[in-house]
Structure 1
Amino acid sequence: MEFENGNVHVISTKEGWDEAISEAYENGKIVVANFSASWCAPCRSIAPLYGEMSEKFPSLTFVTVDVDKMMELSSSWEVRATPTFFFLRDGRQLDKLVGANRTELLQKVAALADPSTRSSQRSPSH
């Protein structure tokens, strides 16, 4: 999957995955991991938004994993449908979103990027 804009790291090896997770951990960043496939129409439709979010929220690390090229990694994360988005802190899952729900993806990413919500997994009620 190609991203014409943004700062999305395309992961094509297990080492690349480990490096991205480790770098995010060292920098105190949350990882947004997009498990997708080149043949998946919903994956292609949400790719431009994903790229835009990577520019809008530089405090997060955005990666994408092709499930066909990285079957073992996809299986270890129990990816059953594409796209599946995982939100990770220190390599551990904070949240998950299955499907190309633009509104929900944007809400989850915006909440994680907001430093006031970083201390807990839930956004405070206002």
Structure 2
Amino acid sequence: MSSTPAGPEFPGKRLPQLVLLLLAIVVVAVVWLEGGRSEGDLLDQMARRSLPLEQALSNGKPSVVEFYADWCESCRTMAPGMEQMVKDHPQVDLVLLNVDNPSWQPQVQRWNVNGIPHLQLFDANGESRGQSIGLRQPQELSAIAVALETGEPLPTLAGIGAISSLDPSEEPSRRDISSNVGPRSHG
């Protein structure tokens, strides 16, 4: 019975592996922390903080309901402006409804959501005052919030923002936008 001794283990042999493991952990941590600062994550954070729709429409405060999707670049671009609107106008509730969530299909159909971002605007009594489709700038969002707070008429905003199809091969031109917009379209 002879056995070949494995020989002594030297810590130096595993040092390169440990350095690589530590480097990989640092890279993952940095990517994870940086990812937490993206607009997509802001959109997700806002959706998690938003009130349930029924509560927002019955609590005596005006509400902005945004229909959005995680893949919608305009929704992601508009997220910081929406966040600022909430900070500047805390008396206006914000509700985010993801169009990719099947549980929101009745609301998508009820309010004829045919492009995103789609804002459905409600007064303090939960009555619909209007809607806005497409990317809105922070000053436009603020004007909407002020009108909802004061009961003044909604601001006149430029028409529908740029709309594009989910399928890049079906990109509509701006002149035939109204005939090609569907629930999965976004601005």
Q: Which moved more, 1:103-112 or 1:68-77?
A: 103-112
Residues 33-88 of structure 1 show CA distances to partners (whole Å, capped at 9, x for unaligned) of 11111111000100111111111101111111111112222111110000011110
2:113 maps to which of 56, 67, 79: 79
- Count residues in correspondence: 108
Relative to structure 1, the CA distance from residue 122 to residue 100 in structure 2 (aligned partners, 3 Å threshold; closer, same or farther) is closer
Q: Which residue of 1 aligns with 2:148?
A: 112
Do structure 1's residue 3 and structure 2's residue 45 form an aligned pair? yes
Query: How does the TM-score come out when normalised to structure 1?
Result: 0.73
Task: Compute the RMSD of aligned alpha carbons.
Answer: 2.2
Query: How does the TM-score come out when normalised to structure 2?
Result: 0.51
Q: Give SS of 1:104's match.
A: helix
| Kept in 2: contact 1:8–1:51 (CA 8 A) | no
Counterparts of residues 85-100 of structure 1 (less than 5 Å): 85-89=119-123, 90-100=125-135
1:22 maps to which of 54, 58, 61: 58
Q: Could you tell me how far apart the structure 2 residues matched to 1:98 and 1:76 are?
A: 15
- Any gaps of 5 or more consecutive residues in structure 2? 1-42, 156-187
| Kept in 1: contact 2:147–2:153 (CA 8 A) | no
Runs of 4+ in 1 over 3 A off after TM superposition: none
Q: Which one has the largest radius of gyration?
A: 2
Residues 74-104 of structure 1 show CA distances to partners (whole Å, capped at 9, x for unaligned) of 1111100000111102222112111112143
Q: Could you tell me how far apart the structure 1 residues matched to 2:106 and 2:45 are?
A: 23
Q: Could you tell me how far apart the structure 2 residues matched to 1:8 and 1:98 are?
A: 22
Cα displacement (A) at 1:122: 5.8
Relative to structure 1, the CA distance from residue 106 to residue 79 in structure 2 (aligned partners, 3 Å threshold; closer, same or farther) is same
Structure with the largest fraction of helix = 2
Letter matched to residue 119 of structure 2: F
| Kept in 2: contact 1:3–1:51 (CA 8 A) | no
Q: Which has the higher contact order (CA 8 A, sep 6+)?
A: 1
- Any gaps of 5 or more consecutive residues in structure 1? 11-15
1:58 maps to which of 87, 90, 98: 90
| Kept in 1: contact 2:121–2:129 (CA 8 A) | yes
| Kept in 1: contact 2:120–2:131 (CA 8 A) | yes
Structure with the largest fraction of strand = 1
